[in-house]
Amino acid sequence: MLSIVVPCYNEEESILLFYKEMERVHQTINEAFEYIFVNDGSTDQTLSIIRELAKDDSEQVRYISFSRNFGKEAGLYAGLEAAKGDLITVMDVDLQDPPELLPQMIERVRTTDADCIGTRRISRDGEPPIRSFFARLFYKLINKIGDTEMVEGARDFRVMSRQMVDAVLELSEYNRFSKGIFSWVGFKTEYLEYENRERVAGNTSWSFWSLFNYSIDGIVNFSDTPLNIASFVGAFSCIASGIALIFIVVRALLFGDPTSGWPSLISVFLFVGGLQLLCLGIIGKYIGKIFLETKKRPIYIVKETEDTNKLNVLSSDDK
């Protein structure tokens, strides 16, 4: 069986389109399907549509609804935990992940020694240029400073073996960055390439700043290079300040030249103070992540599933 994990946040316009397209592809695949829709605290009619879908196709459709918005990473983790299939895939409901690639992906997992068949975009047509620029910059940066290789353009859309998914679930950290985790577990992964696709309906919930913060989380989670940079900057500032101090003292003793230049002195103070705040900010980011991990809070909280909904319906019928 193939378990299809589908995180959803305010996707009322896309769910039925996704389901119909997936069922069309299902007819070409000799695999049982299991849909796991994860409602990540949507504020539109997403949950109602998923409820009806689970009612109409109770054999295939399951769902998990969070008590609030916990983020896509929590949705991915919840879906992977709930998946029962021996193969598991993660897909976006907006059909930017091409369903027609599934037959080829499944066949390659079944017939080769690959544990995961992933997908990667070879173009970013339709994206704002500034977003594409920073996305490419992120992959170049993270691959230079991190120990975990991340493939540029790689999507969360991938077909994984049960063994690989179990390994991913063992990493139950609160601060999650799935692209890095999928690479870190180390199973053999091959990629299929495709051209970028636009959403079929609705608007993305990912703004430039949310993607920027997400990339910062990826760097912090998979590299300690920023801490090394902060240490280097501190050491360099200390050495440079010491050399400047010796120069000023020697000049005053030999030439009797009083030290002058209050504006330049203030500028130096402000520059050094800025470096200190930058280094403290880098250290604070890591400490903040540690703080969240030590709290041991759950990654998500479930409010409703298809099973609890059935119980509620039965209870209301009894009344």
Residue 125 has pLDDT above 70, yes or no: no
Q: What is the pLDDT at residue 309?
A: 63
Residue 140 has pLDDT above 70, yes or no: yes
3-class DSSP assignment, residue 46: helix
**What pLDDT score was predicted for residue 243?**
74
Structure confidence at residue 187 as a pLDDT band (50, 70, 90): confident
Helix (H) or strand (E) holding 302: strand 302-305
Average pLDDT over residues 1-13: 89
pTM: 0.74
CA separation, residue 242 to residues 129, 236, 238, 258 (Å):
45, 10, 6, 18
What does the CA dihedral 312, 316, 317, 319 come to, rounded to 10 degrees?
A: 140
- Of residues 126 and 103, the one with the higher pLDDT is 103
Mean pLDDT of 15-36: 89
Taking the C-alpha atoms of residue 262 and residue 204, their distance in angstroms, rounded to an integer, is 52
- What's the alpha-carbon Rg for the chain, to the nearest Å? 26
Span 285-295, mean pLDDT? 79
The whole-number pLDDT of residue 120 equals: 84
> What integer pLDDT is reported at residue 3 of this predicted model?
92
* 142-169 pLDDT tens trace: 777 777 777 777 788 889 989 999 998 9
| pLDDT of 314 higher than 50 | no
Higher-pLDDT residue of 101 and 219 is 101
List the structure tokens of 136. 């490419």
In the chain, what percentage of residues exceed pLDDT 90?
Answer: 5
Distance CA 29, CA 260 (A): 81
Which pLDDT belongs to residue 313? 46
Share the mean pLDDT of the chain.
79
Banded model confidence at residue 57, pLDDT cuts 50, 70, 90? confident
Q: What fold is seen in the domain 2-128+148-207+298-318? A: Spore Coat Polysaccharide Biosynthesis Protein SpsA; Chain A (3.90.550)
pLDDT of 185 higher than 80:
yes
Ranking 181-190, 233-242, 287-296 by mean pLDDT, the lowest is 233-242
What pLDDT is recorded for position 36? 92
pLDDT digits (tens, 9 = 90+) for 71-89: 888 889 999 989 998 899 9
> Could you give the CA distance from residue 224 to residue 145 in angstroms, rounded to a whole number?
8
The mean pLDDT value for 232-254 works out to 72
pLDDT above 70: percentage of residues in the chain: 80
